[in-house]
Amino acid sequence: KKKVTVNICLWGPLLLWNVYLCDFSLVYLFLCKKAQANCLDIGQPFKVATPMIFKVTFFVSGSRESAFVHAISSAGVVFAITRACSQGELKSCSCDPKKKGSAKDSKGHFDWGGCSDNIDYGIKFARAFVDAKERKGKDARALMNLHNNRAGRKAVKRFLKQECKCHGVSGSCTLRTCWLAMADFRKTGDYLWKKYNGAIQVVMNQDGTGFTVANKKFKKPTKNDLVYFESSPDYCIRDRDVGSLGTAGRVCNQTSRGMDSCEVMCCGRGYDTSRVSRMTKCECKFHWCCAVRCQDCLEVVDIHTCKAPKSAAWIART
């Protein structure tokens, strides 16, 4: 146990910094770009200043934004530790020891080979590391965070996929060697983003051991769903008390029906459209071996930005 502890402690800062950057970039992409929760300026990757909205809204309140942040953070720890195990960066773990010998799937027999991602170890570590603080509390917030942490861990395992390599004459698949590999972490982020949009509001049950849905019209949340207790602040207006910059000037998606749509993002205030020119990569071709070469093309696009509110309340809070 001492070796494991020392090894994790030595690698911990680097691994968790990678987790932080990965989680932070996904949180910024989804919550700060696609949702109304506008965040403060992030700056350069290695000069990250934690936005006020993260400190005040995401981690303090029991909102759906907080639910997403806890889930994606828990998932990030699973992914980083599992990847470190597969790459031999931790002495306490390696490839999945259970994936040995022969097995069978819908395509026939195959041999386990290569390095299967040891995701069970990653989940076990993340559960002990991320849940430690929450297990000390018995209030609604702790229960909510534990639930969402688990949903995040399960999301990574959901996209564990079997990859195989064929062996045989002229590429025939007489023999197959297979291993299990995690999908790109962005896939987990996309999945949890959908769960964020469908997050279920809950209330504590009478004995304080769990929760039930706040609105009886909704189904009971599964272990894969995100749950929250408190309604989100009004992100439509600028309010420094909660760290919200409002949605004025935010770019919205005219064709979307989701949280990034102009209708939702602009809070019914309407939007302005401007035509701009920008350089994009086009006519990309793969060259053997192994590069993709593209041309720079000038593209003219319409950009839609939310109008500012005209109420005195917004002016008073800026």
pLDDT of residue 133: 84
| pTM metric for this prediction | 0.73
Q: Which of 267, 265, 250 is nearest to 309 (CA)?
A: 267
115: confidence class by pLDDT, cuts 50, 70, 90: very high
Question: What is the spatial distance between Cα 303 and Cα 307, in angstroms, rounded to a whole number?
Answer: 13
pLDDT of residue 91: 84
pLDDT of residue 48: 38
pLDDT of residue 31: 64
Span 236-279, pLDDT tens digits: 888 777 667 788 888 899 998 877 889 988 988 999 999 999 88
Secondary structure of the chain as H, E, C letters: CHHHHHHHHHHHHHHHHHHHHHHHHHHHHHHHHHCCCCCCCCCCCCCCCCCHHHHHHHCCCCCHHHHHHHHHHHHHHHHHHHHHHHCCCCCCCCCCCCCCCEEEECCEEEEECCCCCCHHHHHHHHHHHHCHHHHCCCCHHHHHHHHHHHHHHHHHHHCCEEEEEEECHHHCCCEEEEEEECCCHHHHHHHHHHHHHCCEEEEECCCCCCEEECCCCCCCCCCCCCEECCCCCCCCCEECCCCEECCCCCEEECCCCCCCEHHHHCCCCCEEEEEEEEEEEEEEEEECCCEEEEEEEEEEEEEEEECCCCCHHHHHHC
Span 180-239, pLDDT tens digits: 999 988 899 889 989 988 999 999 887 777 888 988 888 889 999 999 998 887 778 887
Dihedral (CA of 77, 79, 83, 86) sign: positive
Question: What is the spatial distance between Cα 284 and Cα 65, in angstroms, rounded to a whole number?
Answer: 38
For residue 43, pLDDT over 80 is answered with: no
Contact assessment for residue 58 and residue 51, using Cβ atoms and an 8 Å cutoff: no
Question: What dihedral do alpha carbons 264, 265, 269, 272 form, nearest 10°?
Answer: -120
Span 292-302, pLDDT tens digits: 788 899 989 99
The answer for residues whose C-beta is within 8 angstroms of residue 52's C-beta and 6 or more apart is: 40, 240, 243
- Rounded to a whole number, what is the distance in angstroms from the first to the last CA of the chain? 53
Helix axes 64-86, 185-197, angle to 10 degrees: 160
For residue 306, pLDDT over 90 is answered with: yes
pLDDT of residue 101: 92
Span 140-161, pLDDT tens digits: 889 999 999 999 999 999 999 9
Q: State percent of the chain over pLDDT 90.
A: 33
For residue 39, pLDDT over 90 is answered with: no
For residue 65, pLDDT over 60 is answered with: yes
